[in-house]
Chains A and B, each alone.
Chain A
Amino acid sequence: MSKYEALVSYLGRPPTVEERAIFDDQRTRIEFGVLYHPLWEETETMTGLAIRNPIDDSAMGGSDV
């Protein structure tokens, strides 16, 4: 199911233009406001335990597979 299809399912109907805009804006805000939050990045640097970006295989030590 695509993210758009998930939104249609969530609302029970296709989104309005305004709802779609809010949805897209929120995805961007999460990217910068949460996933790469300064407190998280700082803690990751200190502990070395956190995975910076799960999509980046090199961060998990296995990009050559």
Chain B
Amino acid sequence: MTIAGILEDLDAGRASAVGLVRQAIARVSAAGTASPFATVEFDHALEQATVVDKARATGRPVGPLAGVPLAHKDMFERSGSRIGRGAHPLAAYVARNTATVLDRLDCAGALDLGRLQMSEFAMGPTGSNHHHGSPPNPVVPGAITGGSSSGSGVAVGMGIVPAALGSDTGGSIRIPAACNGVVGFKPTHGLVPVSHIMPLSWTQDCVGPLAASVDCARRVLSVLTMGTTRGTSQTSASLRIGFDTSDFAQDISAKMSGAMVEARQQLVVDGHKDHDIDLGWLASLNEPANVIAMAEAGTVHADRLRHACDTYGDQVRLRLTQAAAISAQAYLRARQIRDIARERMAQIFQNVDVLALPMLPDIPPQITALDALEAESLSRMITAMTRFARPASVMGLPAISLPIVWTGHGPLSLQLIGAPYSEDMLADLAASLESAFSRNPQPA
């Protein structure tokens, strides 16, 4: 299911928006407990679809996503709708406002099917949720869904919607995208408005799409940015692509290492120039990124934590406990380190256009493998899962994750990182790689 395909069918009269919503309802119903939805808004979507169908039938102009069914992480507010934030039921509330990004999607004619499951308060890269569990991974049986935009990854992976909004503070778009074999696009920090969306860490919070393809992702992003980014692909110019030579990107599985070699070879075949770069220093950004995220999350949650500490799941409560240990000096120093890192990265982007890194160190891990780990080993595993995601988050850089190789046990995803506001260049490059690697399609 792609946005281009849906629009083609709608324009040709082979499908109707109402029909597409009814198909989605049937799929969600058939999924039963495997449904990734936290709250369905099917009546609302049918009303939107009816308006779109009438507009098409009468020849009125329609928006670029008119009739395309979408659904979003359970932290995007729509006036009058319940927002759960993946938290204890007592933390749910009815929104009084509508997120700016939903307003923009509404104006483009997109249909909103409802809210999707997520990690509690968007904290947790595995996708497991203390209160609500997690939907099963639709493409890798028994594997984690990744988080925190777990439901968004699953809904796209299941083919219920061609795209879904997620949020990314330390990898929460790109990690579930990689786990579910779909594309995840984290834009430059500040490019997409975050008003009336649950905050976590305002220095790093970004909104972006998880999508069935690069084309789907960029079409949605173009609407979110009101056309600041292109909704269509162009042939990628010859670019300078940087590959890490340090231990940072070497500590990965043999399969992931092989996928990186394949990606590098393909980029050279496509006329790009590959460059060796020592990016070992990126590993040191993990702690400053965590300090910024936890200090800001601790501030966001301070009042609620004091009065309702035990309504938080164990994992989230323990992470938020870290915030109490972070002094103002440590937080400010972490912000200074972030500034230094951004300057250093700006120098690197004078010599290369794009950095290519693995998205995860391996295929998505099995839930049973995580369950068997002791607390300390689990912590190391979580750090390993986020280490390639965090640098772009803390430096506010755009990054796109796309599956390039499908092993018999799950997808292996590549991450492309660019300078601020290089979304179009990243999407063009990702689209060409996606096309080249389509010779390794997802197993049926």
Residue of B nearest to A27 (CB): B325
B131 lies within 8 A of chain A by Cβ:
no
Chain A residues near B181 (CB-CB < 8 A)? none
List the interface of chain B (C-beta within 8 A of A).
281, 284, 286-288, 291, 294, 298, 302, 305-307, 309, 317-318, 321-327, 329-330, 333-334, 336-337, 340-341, 344
List the interface of chain A (C-beta within 8 A of B).
3, 6-7, 9-13, 15, 18-19, 22-24, 26-27, 29-30, 33-35, 37-40, 43, 54
Q: How many Å lie between the Cα of A47 and that of B305 in the bound state?
A: 41
Determine chain B's interface SS by DSSP, over half rule: helix
19 new A-B contacts, CB < 8 A, other than A15-B321, A23-B321, are A3-B325, A6-B324, A9-B306, A10-B298, A10-B302, A10-B305, A10-B306, A11-B305, A11-B321, A19-B317, A22-B322, A26-B294, A27-B325, A29-B287, A34-B334, A35-B333, A39-B281, A39-B341, A40-B333
Q: How many Å lie between the Cα of A53 and that of B20 in the bound state?
A: 62
What number of residue pairs across chains A and B have CB atoms under 8 A from each other?
84
Cross-chain contact B340 with A39 (CB below 8 angstroms): yes
Question: In the complex, what's the smallest C-beta–C-beta distance from A34 to chain B, in angstroms?
Answer: 5
Q: How many Å lie between the Cα of A11 and that of B322 in the bound state?
A: 11
Chain A residues near B322 (CB-CB < 8 A)? 22-23, 26
Cross-chain contact A10 with B334 (CB below 8 angstroms): no
Residue of A nearest to B317 (CB): A19
Chain B residues near A54 (CB-CB < 8 A)? 329
Cross-chain contact B284 with A30 (CB below 8 angstroms): no
Cross-chain contact B281 with A35 (CB below 8 angstroms): no
Residue of B nearest to A33 (CB): B287
Question: In the complex, what's the smallest C-beta–C-beta distance from A64 to chain B, in angstroms?
Answer: 24
